[in-house]
């Protein structure tokens, strides 16, 4: 398992139902924040974060009860990590800022590809790319 995946799994293990509820309450502000991400090297990052926000939202609101909790917890962790902006690589660094967020998001999308693509299909959402 890659170090990024291990980091993601460890972070996702910390997501409790109470934390998930707190993240859910902050989703409107988080979605606005993610829409403003300026990361030319990672052109899909904002769209991918928005997709993961939708996953968390639909799970918490019981719109989609077929999503596995582990995938939702990983999505929630990615949202928190991206929001904190205190990641392993500072976002203001040219060319590499947002590389850590992009890596975490890609790990989630790759590891949960089947369930997330099925989720996207059920909700008539364009499946987001796993490209950087």
Residue 92 lies in a domain: yes
Of 27, 119, 12, residue with least CA distance to 70: 12
pLDDT value at position 92? Answer: 52
- pLDDT tens digits for 53-85? 999 999 999 999 899 999 999 999 999 988 875
Residue 5, number of CB atoms within 10 A of its CB:
16
Residue 128 lies in a domain: no
Q: Both tokens of residue 83?
A: 């929001």
Mean pLDDT score, 77-105:
72
- pLDDT tens digits for 105-119? 999 999 999 999 999
Q: How confident is the model at residue 86 (pLDDT cuts 50, 70, 90)?
A: low
CA distances from 89 to 39, 109, 132 (A): 13, 20, 16
pLDDT value at position 14? Answer: 92
Mean pLDDT score, 18-23:
96
Mean pLDDT score, 4-12:
88
Residue 48 lies in a domain: yes
Residue 78 lies in a domain: yes
Q: How confident is the model at residue 130 (pLDDT cuts 50, 70, 90)?
A: low
* Mean pLDDT, the chain, integer: 87
Residue 121, C-beta contacts closer than 8 angstroms, at least 6 positions apart = 127
Q: Does 99 score more than 90 pLDDT?
A: no
Residue numbers of the domain that contains 64:
3-122
What CA–CA distance (Å, rounded) separates 71 from 74? 5
Residue 24 lies in a domain: yes
Residue 132 lies in a domain: no
Q: How many domains does the chain have?
A: 1
Residue 127 lies in a domain: no
Residue 130 lies in a domain: no
Q: How confident is the model at residue 101 (pLDDT cuts 50, 70, 90)?
A: confident
């Amino acid at each position: 398992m890659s170090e990024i995946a291990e980091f993601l799994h460890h972070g996702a293990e910390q997501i409790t139902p109470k934390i998930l509820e707190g993240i859910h309450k902050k989703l409107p502000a988080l979605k606005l924040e993610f829409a403003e991400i300026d990361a030319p090297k990672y052109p899909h990052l904002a769209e991918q974060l928005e997709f993961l926000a939708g996953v968390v939202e639909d799970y918490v609101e019981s719109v989609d009860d077929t999503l596995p909790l582990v995938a939702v917890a990983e999505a929630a962790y990615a949202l928190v990590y991206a929001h904190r902006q205190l990641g392993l690589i500072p976002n203001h660094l040219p060319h590499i800022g947002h590389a850590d967020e992009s890596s975490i998001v890609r790990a989630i999308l790759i590891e949960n590809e089947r369930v997330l693509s099925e989720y996207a299909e059920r909700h008539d959402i364009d499946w987001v790319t796993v490209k950087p």
